[in-house]
Amino acid sequence: MDHTDSTYPVQRSDAEWRELLSPAEYQVLRQAGTERPFVGEYTDTTEEGVYSCRACGAELFRSEHKFASHCGWPSFYVPSAEDGVEYIEDNSLGMRRVEVRCSNCGSHLGHVFEGEGYPTPTDQRYCINSISMRFEPKQ
């Protein structure tokens, strides 16, 4: 998943991403990996604030849209701004999923699921890797 094309405002070479990110961050953000469930630093965070892309700093989600899904990863029912993320059909692992990427740098964030029955306004669950984000508490 080396996004060096001109579709993203933030452009870096693969070598630059490897230098900027830890090996675990690189594996998730640039190679569409997934961190293990229930180990991410933001899985159970309830503090108010903003979640931004760990790779480029673009705002992605806000705490008021986060909910306890008990799935093992931070869950949100809507991104901060619809144009802040992009959606890619993902047919890996023998299932149809929708990958969520940062629209600013193309980094993999997680997946979005619909119709699972959570009591949220959108009936969606953005299942996002903690390692894909940085959290800034509200001041």
Alpha-carbon gap, residue 114 to 123, rounded angstroms:
6
Query: How many CB atoms are closer than 10 A to CB 41?
Result: 13
Task: Find tokens 């993320």 and name the residue.
Answer: 85
Q: Cβ neighbours of residue 113 under 8 Å, at least 6 residues apart?
A: 97, 98, 124, 125, 127
Alpha-carbon gap, residue 24 to 129, rounded angstroms:
11
Q: Which of 53, 102, 105, 127 is catalytic?
A: 127
Known active-site residue 127: yes
How far apart, in Å, are the Cα atoms of 109 and each of 99, 117, 127, 133, 139?
8, 22, 8, 8, 25
Could you give phi then psi for residue 26, rounded to 5 degrees? -60, -45
Give the residue numbers annotated as catalytic, written as ranges. 127
